[in-house]
């Protein structure tokens, strides 16, 4: 078992594995996205309160789900890299951050588009929107900290510390924002009471969540491959690889 | 030296250094006064406007003043090599980092807390609100200093790190700011604030126990 683990952590082996695995994530993601989009936009009935406006959840919910899941994955990878000094884990954390930030931005953007017809404003200081915005800034902080070190090793370890601090803080920030808004007196924008979702609305959503997750895995493998090549550019196997292909 | 005596020795050293550079000591206070003076000038000197604004302005300005003073927290120690001596020494690094942060709070955080009631009076904050402001700042600013020390340790080796430090630690500081300002506001309206105070206390205890470990790990990265 451990030999398998060590083999996986070796860059050339991982590079080959990632190349082999990527299509197995990418193509199912494409097929499921098509099915989920058709189910969500055509087959699912319009909502009795929100009409067709609710259909944005088929993009919004998977991105919001991924925005936090990717942060968790990034922090775990960073911790593994920091504790066992596995460079590949650092490469995974570094590659996951921009993808996570993109999904966070997508969740925010679709949330705002949904908010305009439903709440009458693109932006409201709704607890969930606010904590999603803070998550975006934490991603930005992580990426700028990485960018400000020239030495990759130093950037890896410094950003790993930050990622771990962030993962402890994120729940605190999230619940703080929720409790804070409950301190507000007087009327504020109330979220429409979400009617429990019916089966025909639910299955496309689940398929979309799966599709987005597979898509994330495919993009992550692609980015980690590039990151590994960049980090190992002076090593022999990369030179062999390049001279073999050219 | 035992753990306790290294703690006090570091605090003593930091305080001695701080009092030799009075300029560094005073500038966050000047900044605090200036920023709070900008609002009545830019917005309106009317009593009711300022009263509503006071908790938010006094808290945000305190946070910014503290952030400003955090920038050079470990830089001089890293540059003159004394930090390296502390790291390779036999003492627990988290304890040393905690001592440095406590000393920093004593010279930059505590004066802000003491100055705040004076500024609050110029904002016509009622007496209840002034008391709550002092209390929340007293419990909240140590947490801010601790959180800032992680960022300062991470960026100790980077030049021109002011904006980066703010980007790194401001999101982490948000809960403290929200409950501090909100608690002050509630008290000014005559309500009880035990909820926000307990939460601020919990944040402080949590960061007292965990942050020194993180900033010790961060300073090790900055040193090599």
| Half-sphere exposure at residue A81, Cβ-oriented, CA atoms within 13 angstroms | 26
Say whether pLDDT at A54 is over 90: no
Nearest alpha-carbon partner for B142 in B83, B98, B90:
B98
Residue boundaries of the structural domains of chain B: 3-223
| Ramachandran bin of A192, using left for φ above 0, alpha for ψ from -120 to 50, beta for the remaining angles | beta
Helix (H, G, I), strand (E, B) or coil at B82: helix
Higher pLDDT, B3 or A213: A213
Question: CA-CA distance, B137 to B184, in Å (whole number)?
Answer: 9
DSSP string, A144-177: HHHHT-SSHHHHHHHHHHHHHHHHHHHHHHHHHH
CA distances from B14 to A154, B10, B74, B76, B103 (A): 27, 6, 11, 12, 6
At A55-68, the pLDDT tens digits run 888 999 999 999 99
Task: Give percent of chain B with pLDDT exceeding 70.
Answer: 100
Structure tokens at B22: 């009075």
Nearest alpha-carbon partner for B149 in B173, B116, B181, B180:
B173
Average of per-residue pLDDT values in chain A: 85
Task: Give percent of chain A with pLDDT exceeding 70.
Answer: 89
Predicted confidence at residue A189, as pLDDT, reads 40
Say whether pLDDT at A186 is over 80: no
Nearest alpha-carbon partner for B218 in B167, B149, B164, B172:
B149
Between chains, do A137 and B171 touch, taking CB under 8 Å as contact? yes
Nearest alpha-carbon partner for A110 in A177, A43, A166, A40:
A40
Say whether pLDDT at B99 is over 90: yes
Task: Give percent of chain A with pLDDT exceeding 90.
Answer: 46
* B-chain residues near A148 (CB < 8 A): 155, 158, 161, 164
At B29-52, the pLDDT tens digits run 999 999 999 999 998 888 888 988
Average of per-residue pLDDT values in chain B: 91
Nearest CA in chain B to A131: B171
Indicate the pLDDT class of residue B2, thresholds 50, 70 and 90: confident
* A-chain residues near B199 (CB < 8 A): 176, 179
Higher pLDDT, B201 or A233: B201
- Biggest distance spanned by C-alpha atoms of chain A: 70
Say whether pLDDT at A103 is over 50: yes
Rounded to an integer, the average pLDDT of A100-113 is: 93
Q: 């030999």: which residue's tokens?
A: A3
At A140-157, the pLDDT tens digits run 999 999 999 989 999 999
Predicted confidence at residue B1, as pLDDT, reads 63
- Spell out the residues 6+ positions from residue B5 whose beta carbon is closer than 8 angstroms to its own: none
Rounded to an integer, the average pLDDT of A20-33 is: 92
Higher pLDDT, B112 or A16: B112
Say whether pLDDT at B119 is over 80: yes
Predicted confidence at residue A10, as pLDDT, reads 83
Indicate the pLDDT class of residue A213, thresholds 50, 70 and 90: very high
Question: CA-CA distance, B189 to B183, in Å (whole number)?
Answer: 10
The single-letter DSSP state of residue B160 is: S
**Residue by residue, what is the 3-state secondary structure of A197-242?**
CCHHHHHHHHHHHHHHHHHHHHHHHHHHHHHHHHHCCCCHHHHHHH
Predicted confidence at residue A2, as pLDDT, reads 67
Between chains, do B172 and A165 touch, taking CB under 8 Å as contact? yes
Indicate the pLDDT class of residue A188, thresholds 50, 70 and 90: very low
Give chain B's contact residues with A (Cβ, < 8 Å): 150, 154-155, 157-158, 161, 164, 167-168, 170-172, 174-175, 178-179, 182, 186, 195-196, 199, 203, 206, 210, 214, 217-218, 221-222, 224
Say whether pLDDT at A184 is over 50: no
Indicate the pLDDT class of residue A193, thresholds 50, 70 and 90: very low
Indicate the pLDDT class of residue A245, thresholds 50, 70 and 90: low
Between chains, do B167 and A148 touch, taking CB under 8 Å as contact? no
Per-residue exposure over A206-235, b if at least 16 CB sit within 10 Å of its own CB, e if not = ebbbbbbbbbbbbbbbbbbbebbeebbeee
Residue boundaries of the structural domains of chain A: 21-229
Say whether pLDDT at A15 is over 60: yes
Q: Which of B171, B203, B218 sits opposite A161 (nearest CB)?
A: B218
Say whether pLDDT at A87 is over 80: yes
- Indicate the Cα dihedral angle B212, B216, B218, B222, nearest 10°: 140
Instruction: Please answer whether residues B192 and B48 qualify as being in contact, where contact means their C-beta atoms are separated by less than 8 angstroms.
Output: no
* B-chain residues near A149 (CB < 8 A): 158
Question: CA-CA distance, B101 to B151, in Å (whole number)?
Answer: 12
Between chains, do B172 and A177 touch, taking CB under 8 Å as contact? no
Say whether pLDDT at A39 is over 70: yes
Best of B136, B171, B185, B208 to disrupt the A interface (most A CBs within 10 Å) is B171
Question: CA-CA distance, B175 to A181, in Å (whole number)?
Answer: 12
Nearest alpha-carbon partner for B29 in B60, B72, B66:
B66
Between chains, do A168 and B221 touch, taking CB under 8 Å as contact? no
- Judged by average pLDDT, the poorest of A185-189, B88-92, B176-180, B182-186 is A185-189
Question: CA-CA distance, A62 to A228, in Å (whole number)?
Answer: 28
Rg of chain A taking only CA atoms, in angstroms: 21
Q: Which of B154, B174, B182 sits opposite A161 (nearest CB)?
A: B154
Predicted confidence at residue A192, as pLDDT, reads 44
Q: What residues pair up with A51 in beta bridges, in sequence order?
A: A47
Question: CA-CA distance, A233 to B5, in Å (whole number)?
Answer: 49
Say whether pLDDT at B212 is over 60: yes
Predicted confidence at residue A236, as pLDDT, reads 85
- Judged by average pLDDT, the poorest of A93-97, A173-177, A208-212 is A173-177
Say whether pLDDT at B131 is over 60: yes
Cα of B219 to nearest chain A Cα, Å: 9
Between chains, do B170 and A137 touch, taking CB under 8 Å as contact? yes
Predicted confidence at residue A182, as pLDDT, reads 63
Distance of CA B104 to the CA centre of its chain: 8
Higher pLDDT, B19 or A2: B19
Q: What residues pair up with A47 in beta bridges, in sequence order?
A: A51
Higher pLDDT, A128 or A160: A160
Higher pLDDT, A216 or B73: A216
Between chains, do B182 and A183 touch, taking CB under 8 Å as contact? yes
Say whether pLDDT at A187 is over 90: no
DSSP string, A121-142: SS----HHHHHHHHHHHHHHHH
Cα of A46 to nearest chain B Cα, Å: 38
Q: Which of B167, B170, B178 sits opposite A144 (nearest CB)?
A: B167
* A-chain residues near B218 (CB < 8 A): 158, 161
Helix (H, G, I), strand (E, B) or coil at A51: strand
At B132-168, the pLDDT tens digits run 999 999 999 999 999 999 999 999 888 777 889 999 9
Question: CA-CA distance, B26 to A164, in Å (whole number)?
Answer: 34
Question: Could you report the predicted ipTM of this complex, rounded to two decimals?
Answer: 0.89
Rounded to an integer, the average pLDDT of A103-115 is: 91
Question: CA-CA distance, B8 to B91, in Å (whole number)?
Answer: 13
- Spell out the residues 6+ positions from residue A75 whose beta carbon is closer than 8 angstroms to its own: A93, A163, A164, A166, A167
Q: Which of B164, B206, B221 sits opposite A154 (nearest CB)?
A: B221
Give the angle subtended at the CA of A122 by the CAs of A120 and A56, to the nearest 5°.
90
DSSP3 helix / strand / coil % (chain A, rounded to 5): 85, 0, 15
Question: CA-CA distance, B106 to B173, in Å (whole number)?
Answer: 19
Q: Which of A145, A157, A173 sits opposite B171 (nearest CB)?
A: A173
């Amino acid at each position: 078992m451990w030999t398998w683990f060590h083999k996986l952590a070796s860059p050339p082996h991982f590079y080959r594995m990632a190349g082999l695995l990527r299509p197995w994530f990418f193509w199912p993601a494409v097929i499921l996205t098509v099915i989920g989009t058709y189910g969500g936009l055509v087959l699912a009935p319009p909502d009795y309160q929100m009409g067709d406006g609710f259909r944005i959840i088929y993009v919004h919910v998977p991105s919001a789900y991924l925005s936090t899941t990717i942060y968790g994955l990034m922090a775990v990878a960073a911790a593994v890299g920091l504790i066992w000094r596995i460079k590949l884990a650092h490469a995974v954390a570094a590659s996951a951050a921009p993808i996570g930030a993109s999904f966070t931005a997508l969740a925010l953007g679709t949330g705002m588009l949904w908010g305009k017809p439903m709440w009458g404003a693109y932006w409201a200081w709704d607890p969930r929107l606010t904590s999603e915005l803070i998550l975006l800034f934490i991603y930005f902080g992580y990426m700028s900290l990485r960018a400000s070190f020239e030495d990759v090793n130093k950037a890896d370890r410094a950003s790993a510390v930050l990622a771990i601090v962030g993962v402890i803080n994120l729940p605190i920030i999230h619940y703080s924002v929720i409790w804070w808004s409950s301190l507000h007196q007087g009327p504020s924008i109330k979220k429409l009471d979400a009617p429990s979702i019916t089966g025909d609305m639910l299955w496309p959503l689940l398929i979309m969540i799966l599709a987005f997750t597979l898509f994330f895995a495919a993009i992550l493998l692609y980015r980690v491959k590039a990151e590994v090549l960049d980090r190992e550019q002076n090593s022999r196997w990369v030179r062999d690889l390049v001279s073999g292909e050219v | 030296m035992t753990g306790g005596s290294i703690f006090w020795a570091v605090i003593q050293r930091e305080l001695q250094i701080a009092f030799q550079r009075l300029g560094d000591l005073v500038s966050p206070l000047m900044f605090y006064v200036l920023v709070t003076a900008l609002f009545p000038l830019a917005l309106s000197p009317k009593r009711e406007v300022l009263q509503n604004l006071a908790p938010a302005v006094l808290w945000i300005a305190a946070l910014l003043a503290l952030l400003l003073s955090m920038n050079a927290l470990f830089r001089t120690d890293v540059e003159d090599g004394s930090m390296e001596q502390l790291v390779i020494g036999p003492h627990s690094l988290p304890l040393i980092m905690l001592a440095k942060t406590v000393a920093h709070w004593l010279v930059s955080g505590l004066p802000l807390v003491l100055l705040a009631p004076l500024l609050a009076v110029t904002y016509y904050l009622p007496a209840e609100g002034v008391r709550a402001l002092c209390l929340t700042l007293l419990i909240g600013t140590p947490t801010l200093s601790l959180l800032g020390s992680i960022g300062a340790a991470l960026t100790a080796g980077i030049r021109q790190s002011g904006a980066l430090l703010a980007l790194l630690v401001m999101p982490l500081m948000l809960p403290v700011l929200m409950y501090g300002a909100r608690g002050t506001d509630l008290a000014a309206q005559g309500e009880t604030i035990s909820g926000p105070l307990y939460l601020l206390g919990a944040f402080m205890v949590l960061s007292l126990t965990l942050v020194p470990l993180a900033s010790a790990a961060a300073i090790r990265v900055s040193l090599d």
